[in-house]
Amino acid sequence: MKVIVDKKIPYLQGVIERLADEVVYAEGRDFTPELVRDADALFVRTRTRCDRALLAGSRVRFIATATIGFDHIDTDFCRASGITWTNAPGCNAGGVEQYVESALLLLERERGFSLRGACLGVIAVMFFGWRKVSRGFHLTATWLTAFGANLSAWWILVANSWMQYPVGCDFNLETVRNEMTSFSAVALSPVAVNKFFHTVTSSFVLAALFVVGVSAWYLLRRREQLMARRSIAIASAFGFVFALVTAFTGDRSGAIVARVQPMKLAAMEALYDGQQGAPLTAVGILRPEAQRTGGDAFYFRIDIPKMLSLMSFRSADAFVPGINDLVYGNEEYGVMPASEKIERGRVAVEELGRYRTAREKGDTAAITEIEAKFDRSTPQGAEFLREHFAYFGYGYLSSPEQIVPDVPLLFYSFRVMVGAGCFFILLLGLVWWLNRKDRLADKRWLLWIAVWSVPLAYLASQAGWVLAEVGRQPWAIQDLMPVGIAASKIGSTSVTATFFIFLALFTALLIAELSILFRQIKIGPEQEKE
């Protein structure tokens, strides 16, 4: 038996000779097809790429790599060529541990902070601590990572929800800001609570579809079949349950939007004229904008009778205001026209301007008068805040039509999101059932659908965010601050340059992430024993 060994691997010299008839030591980068052609086994490190270019036509039947990773080994080619390979999980773990500890101690000394009592590396333990720490410690790190991620999501979504539904705050006349008066009202508003659960559960569904899709790819390639079936069993059941929860929170979200953002609801349904017992459009093709406002907004549509009223107000006969009602008003149903809101908002804006002028001139009488109007504790202040300041943001608009967001974008985004969500429920349920019956591997068409459902899940997620953020336009903060007022005064050149820098950066990161992802999927997990 002839063995080729990377000369930089320690402790092999003098040992491997007891097992082989001929041993050749070489630099890892110097392994060539000519060198390995008549070898029976290779001992390598990451410097040696073991692929078709190196191994084709050789008699190599065994490869050992003195590394944890094995991405330098073309496992597909080895499998097809009958070449057995093995890596060394956990090798150099002690050296890596010592290096990390030394680096931390050096940072402690040079940066002047103390490691005593510090919480470091929870995420690192979760990803890299397998077989390095106890199972209990690894599980704890995993749960702490999950808790931290969800806590971060909570605060992000609370902030976003406040922009959609500003509550728990009062306007401070002196600072010209809405300042929080109730933490619980902000953190536990119905919009915040529902948005958190809807967003998080939809992320669970996306993750489940990713696992199912990758596992389906392995089944199609007839690789790692035991692992793939086990992964599908867990992920499909998990995803199916949370897809149902996502649908429930989505329904709840629609009911909340109907009450706090009626224009968003009207736009995403392309409902121009309000109706009692309004239908839900399941499928439709919109006409051009000029043809939508004067009559039927659709070339083609399939409606579910009374469903929009039922979903929005839990009554099949409830009135749902349309775009025209919200813009031009509907006296019969008590819908105030946007023009009146603009006039009321301008009164509040003018009073704020008067206050600023009075402060500059030291006009105490005017200051006292205006402060009384913004004092919620007095009848006069409560009335002014309710009748005028509630429409403060409208005072910056120039026309009622400005309150209408992009109708086609919202209409189609909503249907992509909902349609994909319904499809995922059916897909995950079917995949779980067939896998349980051990019939999934034969359904290659379904496996391909599962694979291509992964990008569809990301598309559906983005459609949901388009619906949420475009739907509140023109508002940066609903009814209080239009985007035009919130926009900074930075020059257009700076904004353009910054945009393209971030575009290039995140595009590069996306390409890198996808490259790593695809490479690792192709490599696969450690070889399993069926």
pLDDT tens per residue, range 459-500: 999 999 999 999 999 999 999 999 988 877 788 888 899 999
Does 337 reside within a domain?
Answer: no
Q: How confident is the model at residue 93 (pLDDT cuts 50, 70, 90)?
A: low
- Cβ–Cβ under 8 Å, residues 229 and 188: no
Does 193 reside within a domain?
Answer: yes
Q: How confident is the model at residue 528 (pLDDT cuts 50, 70, 90)?
A: very low
**Rounded to whole angstroms, how far apart are CA atoms 343 and 349?**
10
- Cβ–Cβ under 8 Å, residues 322 and 312: no
Segment 184-199, tens digit of pLDDT: 999 999 999 999 999 9
Q: How confident is the model at residue 529 (pLDDT cuts 50, 70, 90)?
A: very low
Does 521 reside within a domain?
Answer: yes
pLDDT reported for residue 127 = 62
Highest average pLDDT, of 9-18, 66-75, 495-504, comes from 495-504
State the pTM of this model: 0.73
Q: Which residues contact 230 (CB under 8 A, 6 or more apart)?
A: none
Report the range of poorest mean pLDDT among 122-131, 209-218, 398-407.
122-131
- Cβ–Cβ under 8 Å, residues 15 and 2: no
Q: Where are the alpha helices (DSSP H) in 165-189?
A: 183-187
- Residue 129: pLDDT over 80: no
Mean pLDDT of the 76-91 span: 88
pLDDT reported for residue 122 = 58
Residue 222 per-residue DSSP state: T
Mean pLDDT of the 134-161 span: 88
Are 472 and 493 in the same domain?
Answer: yes
Higher pLDDT, 461 or 106: 461
Q: How confident is the model at residue 290 (pLDDT cuts 50, 70, 90)?
A: confident
Taken in order 478, 479, 481, 485, the sign of the CA dihedral is positive
Give me 263's structure tokens: 């224009």
pLDDT reported for residue 118 = 53
Give me 183's structure tokens: 């933490």
- Residue 360: pLDDT over 80: yes
DSSP 3-state of 413? helix
Are 45 and 136 in the same domain?
Answer: no
Q: Mean pLDDT for the chain?
A: 89
Residue labelled with tokens 């082989």: 20
Does 321 reside within a domain?
Answer: no
Segment 238-275, tens digit of pLDDT: 999 999 999 999 999 999 999 999 999 999 999 999 99
pLDDT reported for residue 530 = 37
Does 227 reside within a domain?
Answer: yes
449 sits in which H/E element: helix 444-470
Q: Which amino acid is at 65?
A: T
42 sits in which H/E element: strand 41-44
pLDDT reported for residue 124 = 62
Are 16 and 44 in the same domain?
Answer: yes
- Residue 432: pLDDT over 50: yes
Are 38 and 109 in the same domain?
Answer: no
Are 66 and 100 in the same domain?
Answer: no
Domain membership of residue 55 as a residue range = 2-86
pLDDT reported for residue 102 = 76
**Rounded to whole angstroms, how far apart are CA atoms 78 and 64?**
12
* Beta-strand pair 275-276/319-320: antiparallel
Of the residues 86, 119, 136, the one at which a domain ends: 86
Burial letters for 471-507: b for 16+ Cβ neighbours within 10 Å, e otherwise? Answer: bbbbbbbbbbbbeeeeeeeeeeeeeeeeeeeeeeeee
Are 485 and 505 in the same domain?
Answer: no
pLDDT reported for residue 436 = 94
Segment 151-165, tens digit of pLDDT: 999 999 999 999 999
Are 162 and 254 in the same domain?
Answer: yes
Mean pLDDT of the 59-84 span: 91
334 sits in which H/E element: none
Are 114 and 133 in the same domain?
Answer: yes
Neighbours of 296 (CB within 10 A): 10
pLDDT reported for residue 411 = 96
Does 380 reside within a domain?
Answer: no
Higher pLDDT, 296 or 234: 234
**HSE toward the beta carbon, residue 42, CA cutoff 13 A:** 33
pLDDT reported for residue 120 = 53
Are 418 and 477 in the same domain?
Answer: yes
Does 184 reside within a domain?
Answer: yes
Count of structural domains, the chain = 4
Are 131 and 206 in the same domain?
Answer: no
Are 414 and 448 in the same domain?
Answer: yes
Are 73 and 50 in the same domain?
Answer: yes
Does 286 reside within a domain?
Answer: no
**HSE toward the beta carbon, residue 122, CA cutoff 13 A:** 13
Of the residues 86, 111, 140, the one at which a domain ends: 86
